[in-house]
Amino acid sequence: MYRLFSFKIAYNGSNFRGFQRQPGLYTVEHAIFDSLEKSSCTDVTPPLWYSYVGRTDRGVHAIGQTLSLLVRDDCDHMRFFERMEESSNSQVLPWAYRWIDSLEFKARYWSLWREYVYVDEIRNYNCQSIGDLTKAVKEIEGRKIHDYAYRGVKRFSEGYYLRRIIAVDAHRVGGKIVWRFRGESFPHNFIRRIIWIARSIHCGEGIIEASKTRHQGTAEPNRLFLVGAKHPITLIPIYEKTELYHVLSTRVFRRESSDLRLVFSFYENDSSPYSPL
């Protein structure tokens, strides 16, 4: 017999060759599936009803990647979590979970939106006015099609670019700029492509206008964090937010924890039901 299980993990993307399992490469899914087998929680790989909130590219980090899958009803989920930390040398940290009665739940399709944070250096920007940068990038909130960020890229189908971006904002903290993107979903590399274009704009210029004339590329992946997603169910945290930051900064991110501190600073006092953490 099987039961549906959902859980959240955080991981340092710098230590993996991406999220999805690939032959001969060590990925986040490799650590998850290997731990499932070693803890005798599933008889098949990949597991049944397996779903995740969003794929992250090589180098991209996650704080609240949510997954769901069917596991054996005698699965010891804490042993599964221990195996995951052991097999990844503590580079994957499970920090919330829930057993779910409905087999209809899938982490990917039940997410109402996903939230990402990008931490950048303000010196990378031609325009260093936060007001102008925010105004420029907010142009994408009202658009339905987002193919403007893919000029020169082999085109996907027209429907691929149809996405709803709910909110974008920017905050300056010392010499850093912290971007937050919330959307129902995002095209491949979308946030990193928007950051690349935003770096080149002149104050008072719009992101759409700039995308037509500037060389396009993708910003560095190790500055991007998948913070989490909003679901109509709540998972049970193993660590509270302040404790979670301490565990992540000392065990998972280690020397890369300065950007993590800025990410958490926006969520530490956020008790809103709309917070992804």
Pairing, β 51-52 against β 92-100: unpaired
> From the candidates 57, 76, 147, 169, which is the catalytic residue?
57
Pairing, β 176-183 against β 51-52: unpaired
How many CB atoms are located within 10 Å of the residue 98 CB? 18
For residues 62-85, one letter each, b for 16 or more C-beta atoms within 10 angstroms of the residue's C-beta and e for the rest, the string is bbbbbbbbbbbeebebeebbebbb
Whether 57 is catalytic is yes
Pairing, β 165-173 against β 224-230: unpaired
SS (H, E, C) 99-168: EECCCCCCCCCCCCEEEEEEEEEHHHCCCCCHHHHHHHHHHHHHCCECHHHHCCCCCCCHHHHECCEEEE
Catalytic residues: 57
